[in-house]
Structure 1
Amino acid sequence: MIQEMAETLDDSGSAAPRLKQTKQNRQSQILAELNRSPSLRIADLAARLDVSTETIRRDLDELTEQGLLNRTYGGAVRPLSTEPSISERHHLLVAERERIGRAALPIIKGGRIIMIGSGSTTTHVARRIAVELRDITVITHSFGVATVLAMNPTIKVLMLPGEYHATEGANVGVHAVSFLAGFHADFAILGASGLTVDGPNEALIECGAVYSAMTMRAAETVIVADHSKFDRTFPSRYAGWQQVHHLVTDKAPSDALRAGLDANGVGLHLA
């Protein structure tokens, strides 16, 4: 470990050495933390490494320039090519996603047939649906969504067929997409890997195809995504904002993203 010496005064007033991390060592620790947790917050890193938040911001900016991470509002995430698995995402931003789940319920309460995409935030919405709604039909390709809905016996769950995608915990592929053609829903509830002025996007192209089909088969589309998705771009843009009716999130988006929502009449709901 690379360290440099600094001096502080002990209780007697004499100089006592203490260890201070170099920037190189500090940034190595930040990357190590990012390998363990796909999302980091500036305040948490500053406290853990015993430096100021401004120092952490400079570190994150430098690491972003090197392509080693991506900055988000208040923190950093893994590079775009390394979307965490569904099991990892279930442990991130839990409080924020629970609030989003609660905020989404008033929007969809009148629906009788609902399509739900895979993802950690959509699973939180499904958990609220299981508690608060009854006598509805849910069409999903996510085993996590189906599992939490199973606690409510009045909810009928239709699982899409297809190829099982292990890291997403969902069925994808041509069979899943073609199955949706035989149905119509009041609402499609979808997550996103990123949200840009062009619309919601998804890291997994296979899931993006399913989300696109759900969007086309639903009267209204509701995107549920936390603030870490703002202004991030992934390969599959599965809808334009003109196809989306509501965005439920936990913080106000950037000016450019907000302008894109407003221009297309997307209702913004802050949890």
Structure 2
Amino acid sequence: MVILDSDHSKEHVLQEMDMYGPLVCVGCYMVVQDTHLNGYPVHVAFSPGPGKQGPMEAVHEFLARNSDFVVDRDREKYGLTFNPNGWLEARPLKETLCVSRIKAWDAVIIAVVCLFAGAGSMLWFVTRTFFTNRCASATGNSVVSASRTSPMPSTASITTSGGSKRWRTRWLGTETMQTPLDLWVVQEILHETRPDVLMETGTRLGGGAAYYASIMDLLRHGRILTVDIENLPGKPEHSRIEYFTGSSTDPAIVGAMKAKVKVASG
């Protein structure tokens, strides 16, 4: 299994997909993180910058010239994910042949979608406007009137400045920089596929790796190879985790990780 979460520029993500994709076994997954951000500066160290192409375009280009993977939309629980179109399953050849036949219907499907696009856009606008009017601003440090945020008038809600503070998620005290629902989906995949190795690009603080290791402890199987261009202090220590420092697209780093995969896979 591969989880890509380092530099968010289209070029870098595409290069990672080309380098790590061949290591994914049939039926297992390559997860491209933060496809919904598409250039949003999550962190200056790995953001492509506002308005620039990001992970989503990389996924589209990769799939356009690679039939070994398919987007598994069933992994997008309730449509709430930071990785829309980013859950890519390596599929067997027979499925690839079936999909090539299905593509003949693409033109018809696109035409139908276009017919309803206008109505869909209006529905989205009305829903968003209603939601905005019902909810108080989430900026600044303030105690928000309960009547504008909660069905319980006696309950107040506190907001804090900075979007990152609102969705900061920790696993055993270490930031994962992922949403709880996406972490849950990774748990499902690990349980279903039982990969020998999970390769992660973009270690950052190591919370994600620590979470994966905890799940593997319960499964009693698997190890994690994770790489980041920065060697930040305080990362969790775990017998299943091996940290690498360097660029995730450096041939030397990729080669070292491939060697570890071969050993782990026997």
- Asked if TM exceeds 0.5, the reply is no
Give TM class, smaller chain. under 0.3
Query: Which structure dedicates a bigger proportion of its chain to helix?
Result: 2
TM-score, structure 2 as length reference: 0.28
Query: Which structure dedicates a bigger proportion of its chain to strand?
Result: 1
